Chain A
Amino acid sequence: MRRLRIAAILAVVALASLLASNVAAQLKSPDDVKKGLTLLVQISNDFKRQITAKNFARIPHEYQEYTEGAEALRATIKDEPADFKAKVETRLKASVAAFQKVSDMSANAPDADKLMAEHAKAVTAMNALFELFPADLRPDPNAAPRRPGGPPKN
């Protein structure tokens, strides 16, 4: 009985990953989607830099760029099935809201440590969004910027 349960769970997991990879394989513009996701990571990293540099006045502008990046991502999936777009929209809105919270905090009571903690939550929300996309299209939010003519700088 126990073995049967484990087998059933494994079958469900396998089926789920198969479905996910199917959605992935069927994306109409995977390159554009990859760029859209990378853009969100780049903007998120800019948030982090501004917090580290204590350029708090700049953070609302970064939030505006994140909302524009969200629009860019929406444009890359505009021809995808409605149910997939709906799932993306839910998590995209959640990540936008999370970055808005960072922005609001920077305006009200700027504190670098608190902002970094809030930014980490926003990155978690962003990663939840990325999970809807195939693994090979997901950028690494912690990857160092690529350097021309050489490996990423550490």
Chain B
Amino acid sequence: MRCREGFIRRGATLARRRLLFPILAILFIFLGCGLKPKPVQQVVDLHIASDGDLIAFTPDTLTCPTGALVRLTFHHAGRFVSARHNWVLTYPDQEESLTKDYLANDGVVAKDDRRVIAATPMSDKGGTVMVEFTAPPPGDYPFLCSTHPEDMRGILHVTK
């Protein structure tokens, strides 16, 4: 009796093991398809500053590849003038409309403004501020300072 029970158990174990193999095989195939290693997002560090106390960016052109995670640092290099500056990235056709609004509202950047791709906080002289964003599709994107939108401008070249 014992012997028969043991035979039955061993048989069931074998059957389970035989089933396990194809199940695992199918599982690995599916998992293998889904677990393709994600391409690692390129990280690009960009640095820009005000041209001392002048109302201008230096450099006034920047470059990064599309899709990259851009970590942009803006330094207010002024020593005398108390004017505050920031860095605001926008779309090519939105530059003038933003300029008009910023001139009217004292350079306040609305958080939900769809014309703005990325913006640093305001910086006082000597300060450094930062913003992170994913680089948009290839093209030339204007950037400006919202408190001096007429004078303080530049171009971000986004490459393929």
Q: Which of A22-50 contact B (CB under 8 A)?
A: 35, 38-39, 42-43, 45-46, 49
The answer to whether A64 and B82 touch (CB under 8 A), given A38-B54, A39-B55, A55-B106, is yes
Q: Which of B46-96 contact A (CB under 8 A)?
A: 51-57, 60-61, 79-83
The answer, yes or no, to whether B45 is at the interface (CB within 8 Å) is no
Of B55, B56, B79, the residue contacting A72 (CB under 8 A) is B79
Complex contact A53–B104 (CB within 8 A): yes
What's the nearest-Cβ distance from chain B to residue A35, in Å? 6
- Which chain A residues border B116 with CB–CB below 8 Å? none
| A interface, over-half SS | helix
The answer to whether A65 and B60 touch (CB under 8 A), given A35-B54, A49-B150, is no
- Which chain A residues border B153 with CB–CB below 8 Å? 145, 147-148
The answer, yes or no, to whether B8 is at the interface (CB within 8 Å) is no
What's the nearest-Cβ distance from chain A to residue B103, in Å? 5
Complex contact B54–A65 (CB within 8 A): no
Complex contact A149–B81 (CB within 8 A): no
Of A46, A49, A64, A72, the residue contacting B53 (CB under 8 A) is A72
Complex contact B80–A58 (CB within 8 A): no
Complex contact A71–B80 (CB within 8 A): yes
- A62-75 toward B: CB 8 Å interface, digit per residue (1/0)? 00110011011001
The answer to whether A69 and B81 touch (CB under 8 A), given A46-B148, A49-B150, is yes
CA distance A147 to B155 in the complex (A): 9
The answer to whether A148 and B82 touch (CB under 8 A), given A53-B104, A58-B106, is no
- A132-147 toward B: CB 8 Å interface, digit per residue (1/0)? 0000000000000111
CA distance A49 to B100 in the complex (A): 11
Complex contact B52–A69 (CB within 8 A): no
CA distance A147 to B83 in the complex (A): 21
Complex contact A72–B151 (CB within 8 A): no
Complex contact B55–A149 (CB within 8 A): no
Of B54, B82, B103, B104, the residue contacting A39 (CB under 8 A) is B54
What's the nearest-Cβ distance from chain B to residue A34, in Å? 10
The answer to whether A65 and B148 touch (CB under 8 A), given A42-B55, A149-B155, is no
Complex contact B80–A72 (CB within 8 A): yes
Q: Which of A53-111 contact B (CB under 8 A)?
A: 53, 55, 58, 64-65, 68-69, 71-72, 75
**Shortest beta-carbon contacts, A-B, top 5:** A72-B80, A148-B60, A68-B81, A42-B55, A145-B151
User: A55-B103, A55-B104, A68-B80 are known contacts; what are 5 more A-B pairs with Cβ within 8 Å?
Assistant: A53-B103, A68-B81, A71-B80, A145-B151, A148-B60
